[in-house]
Amino acid sequence: MDKDTRLKLAVQKSGRLTDPSLDILARCGLKLSRGKDQLMGFGENMPLDVLFVRDDDIPDLVQEDVCDLGLVGLNVIEEKRLALAARGVQANFDSLRKLDFGRCRLSIAMPEGTNYEDAGSLAGKRIATTYPHLLGQFLAHHGVEAQIVTLSGAVEIAPRLGRADAICDLVSTGSTLAANHLVEVETVLESHAVLIRTPIALAPVKNAWVERLLMRIDGVQQVKESKYIMLHAPRAALPEIRRLLPGSESPTIIPLEGHPDRVAIHAVCRENVFWETLEGLKAAGASALLVLPVEKMLA
């Protein structure tokens, strides 16, 4: 019964994606109560339960239809897709949404001072990684033959230990590479978190909730930077004002009682409104400027 009516979503139990995943779900309106074992979260106000697992297990859980949905890094998904393909198995997960967290890149890095021109410079080198399939695809794409040294972690110290000449690992700020005297030479994959789902048809109730969740995620992601701006301006300055409003489509223009040559303008700006923009608007004749955060948006 439950299997047919409640969605099951896999989320990383404890790691970089945990807080932003729970945050986006909360912003989508989900109230979760977590049991003592902390392995399951029960959706109190939506038929959606969260299963907390290691990120590497998320594609498998969706693949095996244990979970309907998963929140995981594109790097994990793409590595898994290639690993399955290598075994002649088709990946059973569809990407539904790109999410605006978990940003990083899978890069190849070499010790400082190494001569590097292009991918050809990797020929014959030993490259340590936890992403052998993505690295293999990159090398094949560039027609380079190199030795892939598959490790389960601590990739960044492999060159110092003499186990590799280069590494292929995730980078976000670059400080881990710098601390290990490594420099990035190639980007293999630009990554971010994604929402995946099973391609298997879901019961209509569940499907309807997936659609609702997606609409809410879109709303949440759109409003992040959005601002609602209100101002007064001379009618004659309208074209200039519209040009200055960042990312706004069609502002609402309201006549001002007793001031035929002035109007009030209300607009949603899809980008942040900086002081510089406000100063520009003021210089164009605007007054009574007010910028408000947007909490929810539904197109």
* Pick from 228, 227, 222: nearest CA to 265: 228
Q: Which stretch binds ligand PRT (CB under 6 A): 13-21, 144-152, 243-251, 276-284?
A: 13-21
Dihedral sign (CA 210, 212, 214, 220): negative
Q: Of 2 and 37, which CB lies nearer to ligand PRT in the complex structure?
A: 37
Query: Can you tell me the distance from the alpha carbon of 132 to that of 257, in angstroms, rounded to the nearest whole number?
Result: 69
Contact with ligand PRT (CB under 6 A) among 170, 217, 233, 237? 170
Q: Of 55 and 165, which CB lies nearer to Zn ion in the complex structure?
A: 55
Q: Of 18 and 221, which CB lies nearer to ligand PRT in the complex structure?
A: 18
Q: Which stretch binds ligand PRT (CB under 6 A): 23-31, 168-176, 231-239, 277-285?
A: 168-176
Q: Of 52 and 228, which CB lies nearer to ligand PRT in the complex structure?
A: 52
**Based on C-alpha coordinates, what's the Rg of the chain?**
25
Q: Of 55 and 68, which CB lies nearer to Zn ion in the complex structure?
A: 55
Structure tokens, 78 = 């793409």
Q: Of 17 and 267, which CB lies nearer to Zn ion in the complex structure?
A: 17
Question: How many residues interact with ligand PRT (rule CB under 6 A)?
Answer: 21
Q: How far is the CB of 15 from Zn ion (least distance, A)?
A: 7
Q: Which residues pair with 43 in a beta bridge?
A: 32
Per-residue HEC secondary structure of 68-105 comes to: CEEEEEHHHHHHHHHHHHHCCCCCCCEEEEECCCCCEE
- 16 belongs to the binding site for ligand PRT (CB under 6 A): yes
Q: How far is the CB of 218 from Zn ion (least distance, A)?
A: 28
Query: Can you tell me the distance from the alpha carbon of 261 to that of 233, in angstroms, rounded to the nearest whole number?
Result: 9
Contact with Zn ion (CB under 5 A) among 50, 55, 194, 217? 55
Residues between 102 and 121 that touch ligand PRT (CB under 6 A): 102, 104
* Pick from 104, 107, 105, 112: nearest CA to 159: 112
Contact with ligand PRT (CB under 6 A) among 3, 31, 54, 98? 54
Q: Which helix (H) or strand (E) covers residue 231, if one does? A: strand 227-234
Place of tokens 């947007």: 294
Is there a contact between 60 and 44 (Cβ–Cβ < 8 Å)?
A: no
Q: Which does 173 bind (CB under 5 to 8 A by kind): Zn ion, ligand PRT, none?
A: ligand PRT
Contact with Zn ion (CB under 5 A) among 49, 56, 60, 184? 56
Structure tokens, 108 = 């190849």
Start-to-end CA span in the chain (Å): 34
Binding residues (CB under 6 A) for ligand PRT: these are 12, 15-17, 54-56, 73, 75-76, 102, 104, 169-176, 191
Binding residues (CB under 5 A) for Zn ion: these are 55-56
